[in-house]
Structures are given as C-alpha cells and as structure tokens.
A and B are shown apart, each in its own frame.
Chain A
Amino acid sequence: MNDILFLLAFPFVAACLMLAIRDDRIRTAVAEVSAAIVIVTSAWVAYRYLGQPESFAFHSETIDSLMAVTEFVLGLAIIYIGYKHKKYLASVLGAITLVLFLGFEVFLKEGIETDNALYIDDLSIIMVLIIGIIGSLICVYAVGYMRDFQKHHPDDKDRRPWFFFLMYTFLSAMFGIVLSNDMTWLFFFWEITMLCSFTLIGYTKTDEAIRNSFRQLIMNQTGGIAFLLAMMILADRYGFLSIDTLLMQDGEAQWIMVAVMLLAIAGIVKSAQMPFHTWLLGAMVAPTPTSALLHSSTMVKAGVFLLLKLSPLMMGNACGYMVATVGGLTFLLASMAAISQSNAKRVLAYSTIANLGLIVACAGVGTPEAVWAGIMLTIFHAITKSMMFLCVGTAEHHIGSRDIESMDGLFERMPRLAGIMILGIVGMFLAPFGMLISKWAALTSFVEDGNLVLIGCLVFGSAVTSFYWTKWLGKLVCTASREGNCEDTVHCQEWVAVGSLAVLTVAICLMYPGVSDAAVIPWLEGAFGGFSEDLVPLLESNNMWIVLIMLVVLILLPLPFFRRTSKRVVPNYMAGEGVDSMSYRGSMGGTVEVSMRNWYMSGWFDEDRLGKIGEVLTVIVMAALLAAAALGVFA
C-alpha cells in the first residue's frame, strides 16, 4: 500500500519543490527526474497489482479533517475570487457548495466510516498508467514549451513556478480520483482538479482567459454540487459513502438511481458533454501543455472514468438511457461543429468532446461490450489526442499560427513533426488504428443494444469525423511550399514527449489484444460477473490478425519509397501558364500565387446553432429523466 500512497503524494511533493525553484536549468532537471519517478512508480504499481484488485484498509481521521478544512478554505477562496472578478454566479455557486458541504459534514457524515479509503483494480491501473505516463510526458514537454512561451510573452511576469506547481498537483489529484474508494476523498480530489484547471486556464490573465476560466469554474461547480447531492442522498438514505458498496446496490432502486444520475451528471460536466461542452472550448486559451494535460488526456478522463466505473449500475435503465443519449448527441453534434473550425486547437477540442461523447455513450449503454469499447477508446484517445495537442503547440511556436490553413505544406517545413501529426490524425479515425477498432466495437454494442438514436448518431458522426480529419490531413501532406525547413529549433524535451507518444500510439495498437486480455477483460469480469471474451467479437475472429497485418503494412510501406522517386518531376498543371507548382502567370501579366482553402460549410455546420440544438436536447433529456427518477417513476 505504501507504493500507492507514494504515487499519491510524490507529485504533490514535486509540485511544492517546483514552487520554490526559480532557475530554469534546475527546474528542467527536477521536472525530468520527477516525471521519470512518476512513470516508474506507475509502471511498478501496474506490474504489482495487475489482475489483483485490492482494497486498502486505511482510515485516518487526521487526513479526513485535513481534507475537510482544505475544502472549506478553498470554498471560501472561490467565493472571494468570484466576488473580486465580479463573477457573482461563481460566488453564489461556491456558497451553495460550501453550505451543502458543511451540512453534509456536520449532519450526514456523522457515524459513516469507510474502512477502505483506497483501492486499486484493473481499471484504476489503466488510468494510473494513462495519468502517470502521458501526464509526465506532458510535464516534460511543458518545460521546453514554457521556455518558448515566456519568450513569446516577454512582458508577462515569469510565473512558471506556479504553472509547474499546478501541473504536478494536478497529477496527484488525478491519481487520487482513480484510487479513492471513499467518496469524500473522491470529492476532494474532484474539486482539486477543478481548481487546478481553473487556475491554469486563467494563467495568461487576459480578459478572455479569465472569462473562460470562470466559465469552467461555474460549470464544474454545478457538477460538484450534483456530486455533493449524490453523496448526501447516499449518506442519508443508505448510510454508506464508498464506491464499492455503491456498486453492489440495485441500480433500479429509486434513490440509488437518483444518486447515480447525479454522479453521472457530475461526470458529464467533467467530461465536457453537452450542455456543458463550452468550458472545454474556452479552455483552449491556456498554454498548450495545459490543453493536452487537462483537456485531452486526464481531467476530462476523470469524468468518463467515473461513468465507466458506474456503468454496471446504468445497464438498461433510465439513468443509462440518459447518459447514452447525452453522449450520442454530443458525439454527433460536436463532430459536426468541428467541420466549421479552422483553429487547430478548437478542432481538437471539438474532437475531444465528440470522442468523450462516444465513451460516455458506451458507459451509458452499460453492456460489457460497450464498456470494453469505452475503456479502449479512453486509452487510445488519451495517447493520440495528447500527442496531437503537443504537435499543434510545437507547430504554433514555429510557424506562428495554430490555424490549420497556415499548415499548408507543413510536410516540407517541419517534416518530422508533420509525420507525427499525420500519424496522430490517421490514428484518430482510420483503420487499423485503435480509435477505429474501439468505435467498431462501440457500433457493434449499440446495435446489440438496439438503440436507434445511438446507431444514427454513430453512423452520421463517423462520416462527419472523417471529413474534418481528412481535410486537415490534406493540408499536411501537401508538398507545395515555399518556406524552408524550420524544425531545428524544436526543444529536445518536446521531441522526447512527442516521439514517445508517437511510439506509444503505434505500440498500443499492436498490443491492444494484450491490453484487453490483461486488464480490460479481467476488470469487466469482476464488474459485471460472468462476462466472457466472446462478447467482444473483434477479439475472437481473424479480424484481429487482419488489423495487425494492416498496421504492419502501413508502418513498413512508407520506408522503401516514401519521398524518393526515379520519375521525371514535372510541375503541376496550371493550364500551361504555370511558373512553378505554386504560381502562374496571371492574365494581367503578373505572377499569381496559388492559394487553396478548405471547406468549412459554416452554413450547414454552424457551431452556435449546433451547440444550441445540443444544449436544448440534452437539458430536456437530463431534466426529464432526473425528475422522473426522483419521483420514483422507474422504481
């Protein structure tokens, strides 16, 4: 158990250290060493506990009180900050949270003791590995990135110690979320991640950043209140506050269902599902490592982690229907909205929202195959999406724009980076990469479940997804470019992080049957009881081999003749008036540059309109089903 405690505490210790360090070289060293330690510890924990779920009898009044006091102080701080920035809604929500929290601590929590505050099972191990490996790599990347960032913003005060403090604290909190069995602990870490993210989004302190950070805060406070209400219901009606006890309850019972629904809403907020998706879009103003860490690989994954964890309670009931519908609609509408975006980070944000939607839908369906697909999507998405964020961040610092239209001919300007980005994009939506494999499993499980809405969302959503990724890919592969190579100045930390993630992207696809057998299937067996491998049709047939062969072919094929040709190179056809492949003699005598722009179809896929449609539909679904459950319609 000590290793678990070390995993929880170490990043926070490193964070405090970071706060004290002012020298960039020392910071780099400390960041790298602590990242290495976190990675090693995560790997050790995974090795030791894989296949051996364990609960740890651990109970400490001191820690409990410490957490309660911290939460109280932070709650007061939120009220004050909201007041200072004239964001009174945040203050009001903060006050409500505080009152509820006090009421809960004083009246309801009395006498309820959770013996096993910590646990670890295979799902937690998967999450620990995601957070430990990807999170640490992002922290390493951030060292190089923030150096450039500071150079680009020379007038700002150097607040990097604070930045790294938040990043590492965040890692601790994330470990806490996936390892806590005691719901009060879970709630504590849940709120910490919210605050870290709030501070990181507002890092640049511009008006936009502050506005967006408060939007994140307000939405997540709503989620926090839902979480708190769920705990109060459980404490009041059933007298327990632990996840493992909750999972043994009957999901159809009236107040259990309401509590699970409230927890699901907390998860939906955290994973930026409609109607709460706008906070994730706003979060894109933060420095890129923040986007990668908080908004692709970890924080939003806390939301889907909770939903996947609760999925056995949602199988085939109203709560599951609510979650699945919200996820499915979010997947479709967010994918559509991504078409209208040209800002690379916003495309990534929308795609994150969409993919999380798919995971949420899988959790909502709640059948073992669906959850299998959901977990696999979580793994693949975390790796690939964080890699994409990091690539965009590096590209932005070198080509001076995060607009996809400016990435014309990136293949000539930053060949290695473009190659990795191509891998990332291909990994997001094409066979034989993991995301598609999981989507495939998701489709199968939706069809099994016979959910017409989900089938429709997935089918149309996939078509739309291909569109926005392919048009980005097209920009990258284009070789017509006048700019020279500008790749030399990329920091080695950035290469290490991006390169490792690229290797991981491919490796995890090659190993996915192994990952499935070693961790996902055992967890599903434990969580659902009597689950057999046959339920995942992809694993039992020849499909797996075909997919692996395709992968190997795709990786090996470029080696012999990519970027090599024995043919005569003839410039592009320009109706006979070409000067070279990128310009032609215009009718007025001058030379005209060819400039190609992509399709955004904003008349069809207007993000505001799609967002509104999504908000209205999901609010109706959530409100109606929650009210019905509270009234005992489904009991």
Chain B
Amino acid sequence: MSGTTKSPWLLHYDASSCNGCDIEVLACLTPLYDVERFGVINTGDPKQADLFLVTGAVNDQNKNVVRQLYEQMPEPKVVVAVGVCACSGGIFGDCYNIIGGVDKVIPVDVYVPGCAARPESIIDGVVKGLAVLEEKRKKISEAKS
C-alpha cells in the first residue's frame, strides 16, 4: 500500500507572481474548495513536501531558490507550474529580469494555465500531478527491486 496519492503535501513558492495565482492557491484551502478533503496539506517545508507549486515566472534573483527548494524535496516529487507566468513567463516574459517559465530551472510535470489560474484548474492540476507522482513512485520502487 502507499499513501502517496492520498496525502499530497504541497510546497507553494511565489517566484515572481503578481499574487493573483497565490490568492487562488490559498482559495483552494477555503471551505468552498477545501482541498484538505483529498488529504492535501499546504506545508512550508520542502523536506516534507510531495508537490512543488510554483506561481509566477522565474527571475535571476530566485532561480537558485527554486532550484534549492526542489533539491531539498525527497523523491518522488512533482512540480506543478501554476498560472501562465509559471508556465512560460506570461506577460512578464519579455521583461529584462525574467528568465522564463519554471521549466527553465527545474523539470515541470504539470502546467496549469490561466491568469490567474482558477482554483478548479489548480485542483485539477494537483490531481494530474498525483498521477505523475504515483508513476514516479512505481518507477523508483522498481529500480530498487
């Protein structure tokens, strides 16, 4: 048995978001959406997280932070880019300081579009991420045995 898909703990990082997507991420925790019913916990600690939710595009200041947070998460782990900025850089894409989407720094598994991404689509993205997570877990346990 594995609880992996039943207990996804999220690490949420705001790379350089306008805060629109961040508020929508938090909205998922409110009584209306209540993601905790899927066992989701919004943790602040990469060492206990399974899913890495990044909002906003990555810039020179925080690319190392994104990378380090990702490295400090234990395997298996899934990265969900939330909102169009995180996916591709969005309207900030051409700014002088922006590198681009999150996938310029770390491998991204699920892209959630929207500006801002709607809570429903974020939840949908997380659920898709869970499928990836389970796949990765299987791969790891196969590699072990």
Contacts and interface: CB of A to CB of B under 8 A. Distances in A.
Contacts of B65: 575-577
Given A576-B13, A576-B66, A577-B65, A570 B71 contact: yes
Contacts of B46: 573, 576
Contacts of A573: 45-47, 72
B68 interface: yes
A184 B47 CA distance: 70
Interface in B53-92: 62, 64-66, 68-69, 71-72, 74
Contacts of A585: 64
A570 B66 contact: no
Interface in A576-610: 576-578, 585
Interface string A551-586: 000000000000000001011010111100000010
A215 to B, nearest CB: 52
Contacts of B62: 576
A578 B47 CA distance: 14
B52 to A, nearest CB: 11
A160 to B, nearest CB: 54
Interface in B18-72: 45-47, 62, 64-66, 68-69, 71-72
A570 B71 CA distance: 8
Contacts of B45: 573
B66 to A, nearest CB: 7
Interface residues on A, range: under 10
Majority SS at the chain B contact face: helix
B135 to A, nearest CB: 21
A478 B17 CA distance: 37
Nearest to B70: A576
A158 to B, nearest CB: 56
A575 B72 CA distance: 10
B63 to A, nearest CB: 10
A576 B45 CA distance: 10
A427 to B, nearest CB: 33
A573 B65 CA distance: 11
Contacts of B66: 576
Contacts of B13: 576
A591 to B, nearest CB: 13
Contacts of A578: 68
Interface string A394-411: 000000000000000000
A155 to B, nearest CB: 52
B134 to A, nearest CB: 22
B90 to A, nearest CB: 22
Interface string B1-22: 0000000000001000000000
Nearest to A576: B65
A585 B71 CA distance: 17
A576 B47 contact: no
A571 B72 CA distance: 8
Nearest to B66: A576
Contacts of B69: 576
A125 to B, nearest CB: 56
A571 B47 CA distance: 10
Contacts of B64: 576-577, 585
A594 to B, nearest CB: 15
Contacts of A568: 74
Contacts of A576: 13, 46, 62, 64-66, 68-69, 72
B67 to A, nearest CB: 8
A576 B13 CA distance: 10
Nearest to A585: B64
Contacts of B72: 570-571, 573, 576
A575 B45 CA distance: 9
A356 B46 CA distance: 48
A196 B72 CA distance: 60
Contacts of A571: 72
A120 B127 CA distance: 81
Nearest to A570: B72
Nearest to B45: A573
A585 B62 CA distance: 11
Interface in A315-329: none
Contacts of A575: 65
Interface string A99-124: 00000000000000000000000000
Interface string A377-390: 00000000000000
Nearest to A574: B68
7 contacts: A573-B45, A573-B47, A576-B64, A576-B65, A576-B69, A576-B72, A577-B68
Interface of B: 13, 45-47, 62, 64-66, 68-69, 71-72, 74
Interface of A: 568, 570-571, 573, 575-578, 585
Given A571-B72, A576-B13, A576-B68, 7 more contacts: A568-B74, A570-B47, A573-B47, A576-B46, A576-B72, A577-B65, A577-B68
List 5 A-B pairs, minimum CB-CB distance, nearest first.
A576-B65, A576-B69, A576-B68, A570-B72, A577-B65
